[in-house]
Amino acid sequence: MTRGSGRRPRGGPIVDRWALLAIPLIAFLVAFFLVPLIVVSLRSVADFPKPTGDIFSNYGRFFASAANLRVLANTFWVAALSTVVCLALGYPYAYLMNIVRPRVAGLLLIAVLLPFWSSLLVRTYAWQVILRDTGIINTFLLDWGLITEPIPLIRTTLGVMLGMSQVLLPFMVLPIYAVMRRIDPEYTKAAANLGAPPFAAFRRVFLPLSLPGVLAGSLLVFVLALGFYITPALLGSPKDTMISQFIANAVQQRLDWGIGATMAVILMGLTLVVLFVASRFIRLRDVFGSLEES
């Protein structure tokens, strides 16, 4: 073989030696992610409230309770609503980042990433201070005479949406922005040269090309929102209860590890179903690979 030909000599190692560096990471993922998932799955079919319980008794207990089914449905509803809110806020924000100068886009990127620099619990308590009856919003409106009594903002679905959207918004903005940066601006210019108004050029050319980022961001936000616990618990009302709160209650207060593991497995299974269905329509590797370019 000539020097620089790029071919692997016969009899050489099949696996690149650099790939061996991934072994510690793989071992870490197996030990701290895969094994706990297996343990939780086994406890859902092996930890019974009674010695005579069959392997599906915990699942029977879960589906026999109307409250459990209602909270499970509410979990998906809150996650879907959070996705819509983040999309409504995130798409215009990402579009603004795409059309401004790079220096301004960098400042906008820092602004959307700023919440990551503080604790989720601290941010949630800050929302409590802002949204309560004596908080900043109600105090401002009362002082200016715009309202005569405080508006109920905390312990409402609106409060939950505000708290969750602040946390999840970057996961919507970044994939959309990454895809928008890959769109050649000459496409919209060509549409304008052919007589298309600006809005028509955006709707017929730019928007369809940005849909992969929209779908990827929506999937990310939806899946992450399914597991939220602190924000709905502190900012929401009982009607905003999510399945994660039921899991925590079963494990911490009732010490019922069986039903807690069952709820966790059901949520994980439904999440995997969502990911499988979404993978039929979204090429996540292509979309998130563009993040390096941004």
Determine the CATH number of domain 67-292.
Answer: 1.10.3720.10
pLDDT of residue 266: 93
Alpha carbons 280 and 278: distance in angstroms, whole number = 5
Give percent above pLDDT 90 in the chain.
32
Task: Write b or e for each residue in 65-98: b if 16 or more Cβ atoms lie within 10 A of its Cβ, otherwise e.
Answer: eeebeebbebbbebbebbbebbbebbbebbbebb
Tell me which of 22-36, 39-53, 149-163 is least confident.
39-53
How sure is the predictor about 146, in pLDDT bands with cuts at 50, 70 and 90? confident
Q: Supply the pTM of this predicted model.
A: 0.84
Take residue 250 and report the two structure tokens written for it.
């079963």
Could you read off the pLDDT of 93-116 as tens digits, one per residue? Answer: 999 999 999 899 999 999 988 877
> Taking all residues of the chain, what is their mean pLDDT, rounded to a whole number?
84
Could you read off the pLDDT of 191-230 as tens digits, one per residue? Answer: 878 888 888 888 888 999 999 889 989 999 999 999 898 8
Alpha carbons 103 and 132: distance in angstroms, whole number = 37
Alpha carbons 262 and 264: distance in angstroms, whole number = 5
The number of CA neighbours under 13 Å toward the Cβ of 69 is 7
> Residue 205 to residues 52, 100, 159, 194: CA-CA distances in angstroms?
63, 19, 36, 12
The domain limits of the chain are 67-292
More confident residue, 16 or 156: 156
